[in-house]
Structure 1
């Protein structure tokens, strides 16, 4: 029997822990190897998970936290609405109503598609007074969460506010080649978190000094294995690096779906509520981790490896080029690994380990499929991938993963069964 990882002393948290396998069709290109369900066995949770994923689509880094916010708002609203009923059909209708209302508000260009998806769901669930009331309750919950999150600093303009680069100095971030683009996501660290009160409590200490052995070791490693023309990086390492060049949100959509699919499908509102809460808490916790990451990035303003290798004091190489183009924001800590550490913590705490290998694909690395048997393996690959990409020092990645774990654990501990 597989082991789950409950947090102690929380009766509603226990609703998130379950055993048993599930399977359903994946409507977005994120997870391979799952079977189609018969029409009589349509899983409304996965149905609206896939609707959300398709509506968000493939996004880039500057869009990530805003897109994560859309996920969180919709599924927090769904959790609130679903927990008002113990019957399966009204609970499923409440979920659909909440997510539909959120997505049509925040991604209004997709309203026609979302209306069609809702019609399919309601055509299956029927039009009883209880179902109609549940849809209305879901919509009401979504409007309430949208109002609560108004002016939370996670809109695109606030997140990507202009940031003038600092004066050049050893160790200090500067725009990076080839485009030398202005910094992005400079305002993200000022966003309002979902679960923790203040991200400043979880900021890491400063990165290693330029005169430390750790810095010299990391610099030598990335110079050797992170270069575009590295003779030491293996073909598999290159595949992992290219695979995880996608946004973390897209990268983990299939992994979270696998966890939701594996949760037991109890024929009542509690079974739906448990699985909805997993999605809601995953996105709430990873948003808090992202806010923490960028608060630290723009506090420490650490230079990127390409700047250090090309113009630093240790054997400068002006021609050195990383495998993956360096993102336009400071080095420390790594956003990908902070997200990964938070995601790992939520999945290990609230979901069972994978019941079978989880095969994932990447929209930015066609033809590459990576298979994972434990949630920790995704964090491991994220840590390595950013080094093999030539865009992060290893210490940066390791600290990021630790920060993400710490933020997510604190957020889950604070939840304690209270409404999100």
Structure 2
């Protein structure tokens, strides 16, 4: 029987909403950033965008909005002050005061997504609905027209910047072929998908100096000897999977964020589309900026800085993944411990070391802690659409630590990939914070 692949997209609720210095009045519905970002995320879920590419999209989707705010608010530091490669003239032909820059910023997010995403045409309906919403809120046709024109003009500038990051050269590079040798990564069940983005290190970063700037400590030396440290790490993964606590299962499920999840039923393969890890952290930013009652301008700022952080964290992480090319626990345990063992979470299709969740979560937590404080408490309900309840956190660092260890509980990472990934992520985040401080990007806490 021919195998059928069915995808069921869950209803998504991503980024919550606004941010900046305390707002004096509720943000109008037509300036809610979460709706635009949710629309973008829905298309990415539809397209099954892989995690590194999703981070790149989130980064660029927010740059135009950031530029529009910076043109109209002198307190928002221009991108060129902290991104060395950003040398574009952000001025547009429409003078400040002739358009509503906040409306333009929201529309720019949608327009950038429409232009960049494979199925971006789907966002035309969202743009049309947004225009209708503006009219229902008695925004004049003249303001709508000028604001849309400003957004389209800024989108064109951002798209010009994207074309210089070498992403368009990835398709011309040699496809990845698994390397021979027991220690190397090999495609895993149930789909045995080919490696995701093996050349991602060649994409231009935003703020870190290069993909190689933060090479983590070397992974534990591979060995099949039952007395070796590597075997012990593998057995630790195997052992905890036998009798995980309810809390460990909840943590693994909450941070799954696997766009490639597939389950089998007889001859049928059923795929479940989910939010990406970067999408989860963008959602967290929406939640906390809303709780902080930040203004629209500051909300755009924090969301844009999170997008930048995600992009650089993935570039740094992927550089190491294909250098060490580490075997996954599932492959090792099946070969040397238990040939019938399966991890709680489905193994993602790329090398093991270091943990992507560890790197991007710690980078994000470091930057967000600088902007909003070390002890910002919040409730994260990002995974409710995927059948997982909310979780409470006392800080971004606590959330990052939980996101990291979730991959151990899920059976898809060894301990050293998590611990060394945590440090790599903090190093990325601290470098970004150092450059933000130098550019006088102020804390919002």
Whether these two folds match at TM > 0.5 is yes
Deviations 1:190-230 (A, max 9, x none): 2111222312111213201135964344222101113xxx1
Residue of 109, 113, 126 corresponding to 1:99: 109
Distance 1:400 1:155, change over 3 A: farther
Distance 1:156 1:383, change over 3 A: farther
**2:410 counterpart of 1:410:** no
Deviations 1:333-381 (A, max 9, x none): 1111111111111210112467653132426841433222211122121
- State the 1:151 CA deviation: 4.8
Q: 2:122 & 2:15 partners in 1: Cα distance?
A: 26
Q: 1:341 & 1:380 partners in 2: Cα distance?
A: 8
The residue that corresponds to 1:10 in the other structure is none
Deviations 1:10-65 (A, max 9, x none): xxxxxxxxxxxxxxxxx952489x9xxxxx83346961232222332263875233
The residue that corresponds to 2:66 in the other structure is 79
The residue that corresponds to 1:240 in the other structure is 251
Distance 1:363 1:172, change over 3 A: farther
Instruction: Within 5 Å, give how 1:11-410 maps onto structure 2.
Output: 28-30=12-14, 41-43=26-28, 47-57=32-42, 59=45, 62-86=49-73, 90-106=100-116, 107-121=120-134, 123-124=136-137, 126-127=139-140, 133-154=146-167, 158=171, 162-167=175-180, 169-210=181-222, 214-226=229-241, 230-231=242-243, 233-246=244-257, 247-265=276-294, 271-312=295-336, 316-352=337-373, 357-362=378-383, 365-410=386-431
Q: 1:144 & 1:80 partners in 2: Cα distance?
A: 10
**Aligned 8 A contact 1:383 1:394 in 2:** no
Deviations 1:76-97 (A, max 9, x none): 1111111222499833123124
Distance 1:352 1:155, change over 3 A: farther
Q: 1:125 & 1:194 partners in 2: Cα distance?
A: 39
Distance 1:174 1:205, change over 3 A: same
Classify the secondary structure of the residue corresponding to 2:71. Answer: coil
Q: 1:210 & 1:182 partners in 2: Cα distance?
A: 22
**Aligned 8 A contact 1:74 1:103 in 2:** yes
**Aligned 8 A contact 2:383 2:390 in 1:** yes
Distance 1:310 1:156, change over 3 A: farther
Moved more, 110-119 or 360-369: 360-369
Classify the secondary structure of the residue corresponding to 2:32. Answer: helix
Classify the secondary structure of the residue corresponding to 2:67. Answer: helix
Distance 1:361 1:150, change over 3 A: same
Classify the secondary structure of the residue corresponding to 1:200. Answer: coil
User: What RMSD over aligned residues (CA atoms) do the two structures have, in Å?
Assistant: 3.2
Classify the secondary structure of the residue corresponding to 1:74. Answer: helix
The residue that corresponds to 2:267 in the other structure is none
- Structure 1 unaligned spans of 5+: 1-26, 35-39, 266-270
Q: 1:48 & 1:250 partners in 2: Cα distance?
A: 14
Deviations 1:230-261 (A, max 9, x none): 12x11121121122111312322331111221
Q: 1:54 & 1:321 partners in 2: Cα distance?
A: 35
**Aligned 8 A contact 1:53 1:253 in 2:** no
The residue that corresponds to 2:78 in the other structure is none
- Structure 2 unaligned spans of 5+: 1-10, 19-24, 74-95, 258-275
